[in-house]
Amino acid sequence: MVEFFNGNRITLLKSGAEYFPQLEAEIDAARHEIHLETYIFKADATGRAIANALVRAARREVAVYVLVDGFGSQDLDPALIRRMEAAGVNFLVYRPNISPWSLRHARLRRLHRKIAVMDARVAFVGGINVLDDVDESGRTPPRFDYAVRVEGPMLSKIHPVVKWLWKLVNTTQLRPRLPSGVRLSLSMELRGRQRAAFVTRDNLGHRRDIEQAYLKAIGEARTEILIANAYFFPGQSFRWALVEAAARGVRVILLLQGRVEYVLQHYASRALYGTFLDAGIEIHEYHRSFLHAKVAVIDRHWATVGSSNIDPYSLLLAREANVVIEDEGFAAQLRESLLAAMSEGAAQVKRERWLNQPWPVRVFTWLCYGLARLLTGLFAYGRAREFT
């Protein structure tokens, strides 16, 4: 059951150019406690700037807790970690032991969500990792991604979630128990007029919450479904929901990755294009830069922004977090941004051209699809058949 809170102020942040200045400013404004969770933390210019802000906070006796993923952040410079810890930053790695020889699905149960909470007063949730979002050459525009800034009663849901995970990881790694620090009161003060919910995915009690939130909104859609997703490899239930929506006259638009970042994921997802195109679903591939967004707008009043892709990794294995917003103003802003991106940097995949692809491309696409299905069966559990 998704729990909605009224009275929030949700601010849309587009890519790192809007996100990182606000994140750093709120770290500098924190007076009691900071929690930061991220999949990737890099020691590049952006990572060092955020690390410096965390160091400044710790030195003024703010309790700072940083949790990074053991796979996504495996290349983080140890010197930067030592510098943060020397200043008093509490630093943990989620599932740090990675064996390249293990086929156990547990090795893919990663911390993929990106959340920051300051003083239980303001939070950031989205898909943006702590790293430079432009390529080293400077020739490619920044990654296309989003986050939201959250103020209001929904903090009463976000703050306990991040505190609980920190305590869980700290305990399971047999670390010394840290002082609880300042006991923060969770204010239910109204900060705006937006209705929103914080939805997570884990491997315990919330395995399908994000997926179910999508499916409910898609099932109730009457006019338009607009989904932008970096890695789009949905299971049967999700595919059927989109096809059924298109069959009842809903305009369904998918904005997907056009550049090849990971070969297997890219071509495996393209094997599903024929089904969608036959159903009348529009597919637009974004080429201007790397698409990293995990967002959607439905019927111009329901929207979501978060870390969860629509693929087996996000929906079956990883810890994810999305914010769902039921607000026409926010939905209009996100929709306008997506349509602009489609107009400026995407190309529509036409059914006729898709059907006339060279046969080597078709064969390679289906080989990737078959391998992706095999790997899903090996690494996933429970609902792996959904992704066949």
Give catalytic residues, as residue numbers.
112, 114, 119, 292, 294, 299
Q: How far apart are CA 323 and CA 242, in angstroms?
A: 21
Alpha carbon 328 to chain centroid distance?
22
| CA dist 310 → 65, 229, 237, 313 (Å) | 29, 7, 12, 8
| Structure-token pair, residue 316 | 């079956």
Tell me if 138 sits within 8 A of 99, measured CB to CB: no
Q: Which amino acid is residue 156, in one-letter code?
A: S
Q: Which residues of 131-140 are buried (b: 16+ CB within 10 A; e: fewer)?
A: bbbbeeeeee
| Structure-token pair, residue 142 | 């920044």
| Structure-token pair, residue 189 | 């003060």
Q: Which amino acid is residue 22, in one-letter code?
A: Q
Tell me if 245 sits within 8 A of 225, measured CB to CB: yes
Q: Bridge-partner residues for 144, per DSSP?
A: 291
